[in-house]
Structure 1
Amino acid sequence: MYYGRDMDGNQSLVTRYGPGNAIWKTLLVPQPPDPSQPYYGPGYLLDFPGIPIKCTACHIPGASIQGDVDPETVKDADRFGVHCDFCHKVADVRIDPVTRLPFPRFPGVQSMDVRRPFPDDPKRFQLFFGTFDDDNVPGEDTRLPLLEESRYCAPCHYGVFWSTVVYNSYGEWLESPYSDPESGKAKTCQECHMVSPTVWKGNNLKNVAPGKGGIDRDPSTIHSHLTTVDKDLLQDALTVTVAAKKEGGNVVLKVTLTNDKTGHHVPTDSPLRHLILLVDARDSRGNRLKQSGGPVLPGWCGVGDPAQGYYAGLPGKAYAKLLKEKWTNVFPAAAYWRHTTLVSDNRIAAFESDTTTYSFAAPEEGYIYIKVRLLYRRAYKTLMDQKKWDAPDIVMAEKSMLATSR
């Protein structure tokens, strides 16, 4: 997304600029891609050549302490992105005392106090912050309660572009009962995303560096670091219930999604992420039943063969925060660093539910096979095709049931 390339290294042409419409006719604004030329998806540097963006403040923070950088210039450990040494050198994060959110102009590392080594004084120890209060390197390590607070996560989980709030999992957590110590439901980000104990080779980890200076600790104090998109975490995010009944010549399904296990909206952060609820009803011969009522999936779920993940027009519902590009009207917007407007947001907030109802023409005899699947998709199908991203959908939940046509 940064360079406008696909997985084969092909790059889209630099963005064209031209006069806007109406009151904007004296302003040069981005134009849609030239349809006569190959297109491999959007890219920030195609829109703003030579101008580094603040993406690196979160994605390559160690290299961005002094300012934004071009990712291709990054060297050494910083090439790994958000690495251990960086996270354990963050001494504090700055939050707006009024909004309780990071300052929009200072994302990621720009809102952090990072304590780097002293290259000109080899006698000075490096400083490592952590959660252990029995550290075994007292000259360098120290316990920092901040690392156990959700506030630590805030700078990289709140992002504003051109006054549009693009991602905000930290703010969503703030607005939920999970952030209220008096709610009886309080949980920090770390309690869900960095759970303890850490399981290593089937056993609870009690020593992070055996034989190399590590000491045995209570496994409940050693949290995991699997903070990427985790299948088990996704499958424990929501509760899905399905009910079926016969009404006249139809079978009616009621599907309810309840966000009873997640401290922010589902899905959250990147607006490319979305959920796809697929509702499938077939007769005893395996033929799809004709839908007689209820929503169908929109075009941006992919037009084509359902066996290949193109689900537009099938019974179901998609859940997403949908943006539209202001100047080109591209929808849904993937290049959220451009000027965008919020079109809709039907994601499921903490402790909220969404219910949809579907009806299908019931066969005269035999059984009805019903399958409901909830999928997590990382990006819009069109964008994934342009970029040649191979990121299969993750099944968050699946329910099957058998009904009679009588």
Structure 2
Amino acid sequence: MKVLIHLAVLFFSIPVFAANEVKDDPAYQYQPNSYCGACHQEQLRDYSQSMMGKTPHDKVFQQFYLGLNAKGEKDGMGYKGFHPDEPGDCANCHTPDVVLNEGHEVDLTEAIDKGSQGISCDFCHTVADVRVIRDPDTGRYTTDINHVVTRARGDTKRGPYDDAVSPAHKTVMSPIHLKSEFCAMCHLNQEHLLSISTYADWKAAYDKGAVTQQCQECHMPTGGKDRPVAIGGKVRKAETIRRHLFHGGHSKDMLDKAATLKLEAGKKDGVLVVDASVTNSGAGHTLPGGATLRNIILVVDAQDAAGNHLQHLGGKQEKLPPLAGVGNTERDFAGHPGKMFARPFVTKTGMVPAGGFNADHELFNTRIPPRETDHSTFHFTLPEKGAIKVTARLIYRWTYKPMADKKGWDLEDIEMTRQSVEVD
């Protein structure tokens, strides 16, 4: 309401400041999102729907941090289950305001109790710079937010426009807000392993020329009609207004654009041979992304004319691993013909999957880099007669099914695409 009063009474131009004027006010108190949303209503609506906008209060995230199951019972599966007396670095990205204020790692619960606004509007738009620090000798990154982020707390808000004026605050055009390096402050995390590698994966593809877009161009798409970005502001071209939805793996629309599946099948030496090609045709980073729990499973099935499943003849290398789900439900695919695209971590004692906080090494890494194609071959028995139908599906899961089963999490299978071919 205060902002609306400002608009009604104090609607005057405030000069745009130069981008290199970085002044940080340690006494500044971050404003809640609702304050910013009084004028930036569309942005607040978008952001409130996003996964980023739900942190740090997202239940699944908190349960993984605290080592709790969906019922709130301790199960040891999570950061606090392994490091009960240490704060960890989870708060760095989920409550960055408090961590930066304190100058060191903070327990997540403590950060929330101290009034963290999470990854708020005001936090992001008072960031002046983000540095990507990589040791060229070891290849390891420095990702502690206290070392990579420069803040400019105060009444000057930083964003993509060089002509923005506001009656509520000063404005400055910020080049870092248009670059993937801004996202690297959280979508890059170095522990014993590079537990979140999204930025590094994108950068490798960008440097090769396989990708030409910045993160914002995919995850903050433009569109709609010409409109102002704030109440009372100038009308801007729709193609200059980026949505704040931050859609990713939880979005069916994004997944539909991420991969291309090609399926071929034929008879050879008395056996049905199926070739499946999966191309990372749309993602600017690996498929799936850089968080270790994300996985995509290719499920291949062959049936005779009567709908009976043909016997699979291939070895272990043609079958999905236990991480695809062990059980008797139609969603448990372990041992089924197919392939998993993922990068699961393993502890020193052999526990899998592991989080970045207790990982010792990778079990395997089958993620597909941007614009590259993975080829897999599968073998089945031939029926005595009749046509054969082969179907392949790509299914996205934000975590491994065995973990979701143990935690009691509601895990949705999102079908990205499917292809079918018939063999006479």
TM-score for the superposition, normalised by structure 1: 0.80
Report the RMSD for the aligned CA atoms in angstroms.
2.5
Task: Return the match for 2:337 from 300, 315, 329.
Answer: 315
**Kept after mapping to 2: 8 A contact 1:54/1:68:** yes
Amino acid paired to 1:318: M
Give 1:297 deviation, angstroms. Answer: 0.6
Q: Distance in 2 between matches of 1:273 and 1:251?
A: 31
SS in 1 for 2:418: strand
Name the counterpart of 1:277.
298
1:185 and 1:339, CA in 2 relative to 1: closer, same or farther beyond 3 A? closer
Question: One-letter code of the match for 1:299?
Answer: P
Match of 2:227 in 1: 206
Whether the 8 Å contact between 2:211 and 2:370 is mirrored in structure 1 is no
Q: Which residue of 1 aligns with 2:58?
A: none
Give the deviation of 1:336 after TM superposition. Answer: 2.3
Deviation of 1:58 after TM superposition, in Å, equals 1.0
Instruction: Say which SS state the counterpart of residue 274 (structure 2) adopts.
Output: strand
Aligned to 1:128: 157
In the other structure, the counterpart of 2:20 is: none
2:392 paired with 1:372: yes
What amino acid does structure 2 have at the position aligned with 1:165? L
Answer 1 or 2: which has greater helix percent.
Answer: 2
Distance in 2 between residues matched to 1:185 and 1:106, nearest whole Å: 24
CA positional deviation for 1:208: 2.8
Give the Cα separation in 2 of the matches to 1:368 and 1:274: 29
State the AA in 2 paired with 1:136: V
Give 2:181's aligned residue: 151
Among all aligned residue pairs of Structure 1 and Structure 2, give the percentage whose two residues are the same amino acid. 34
Instruction: Describe the superposition over 1:20-67 as per-residue Cα deviations: whole angstroms up to 9, x where unpaired.
Output: xxxxxxxxxxxxxxxxxxxxx512122222321111111221222123
1:349-391 Cα offsets, whole Å, 9 max, x none, are 1222110111221222232222110111111222111211112
CA distance in 2, matches of 1:323, 1:370: 32
1:195 matched residue in structure 2: 221
Shift of 1:252: 1.6
Closer, same or farther in 2 for the Cα pair 1:129/1:392, shift >3 Å? same
Aligned position for 1:51: 86
Give the Å deviation of 1:101: 11
* Contact 1:109-1:155 within 8 A present in 2 as well: no
Distance 1:360 1:103 in 2: 44
The answer on whether the counterparts of 2:140 and 2:190 sit within 8 Å (CA) in structure 1 is no
- Structure-1 residue corresponding to 2:274: 253
Shift of 1:143: 1.1
Seen in structure 2, the aligned counterparts of structure 1 residues 380 and 184 have a Cα distance that, compared at 3 Å, is closer
* Aligned partner of residue 164 in structure 2, secondary structure: coil
Measure how far apart 1:257 and its partner are.
1.0
- Aligned residues, how many? 354
Q: What is the rounded CA distance, in whole Å, between the counterparts of 1:147 and 1:94 in structure 2?
A: 12
> In 2, Cα distance between the equivalents of 1:158 and 1:239?
26
* 2:91 partner amino acid: T
Measured in 1, the distance between the counterparts of 2:396 and 2:191 equals 25
1:238 counterpart residue number = 259
Alignment of 1:343 with 2:343, yes or no, is no
Runs of 5+ in structure 2 lacking a partner? 1-63
Structure 1, unmatched stretches of 5+, are 13-40, 118-125, 198-202
- Render the CA deviation track for 1:162-189: whole Å, top value 9, x for unaligned: 3x2222111112211x246xx4852111
**Residue 166 in 1 paired to residue 166 in 2?**
no
Shift of the alpha carbon at 1:110? 4.3
Is 1:360 equivalent to 2:397 in the alignment?
no
Q: Which amino acid aligns with 2:295?
A: H
Select the structure that is richer in strand.
1
Give deviations 1:118-157, integer Å, cap 9, x for gaps: xxxxxxxx12111122212175111111111111111212
SS of structure 1 residue aligned to 2:290? coil
Q: Is the 8 A contact 1:267 1:320 kept in 2?
A: yes
User: Structure 1 residues 257 and 143, CA, compared in 2 at 3 Å: closer, same or farther?
Assistant: same
Query: Partners in 2 of 1:213 and 1:382 — Cα distance?
Result: 51
The alpha-carbon distance between structure 1 residues 248 and 97, as it changes in their structure 2 partners (threshold 3 A), is closer
Counterparts of 2:138 and 2:213, CA distance in 1:
18
Match of 1:305 in 2: 328
Could you tell me which amino acid in structure 2 is paired with residue 348 of structure 1?
I
Amino acid at match of 1:82: I
Query: Cα–Cα, structure 1 residues 184 and 102, in superposed 2: closer, same or farther, change >3 Å?
Result: closer
Q: What is the TM-score with the length of structure 2 in the denominator? A: 0.77
Is 1:93 matched with 2:130?
yes
The answer to whether the 8 A contact 1:196-1:220 is kept is yes
Give per-residue Cα distances to partners, 1:177-203, cap 9 Å, x unaligned: x246xx485211111211212xxxxx4
Distance 2:87 2:342 in 1: 28
| Matches of 1:395 and 1:10, distance apart in 2 | 31
| Compared CA separation, residues 185 and 303, structure 1 to 2 (3 A) | closer
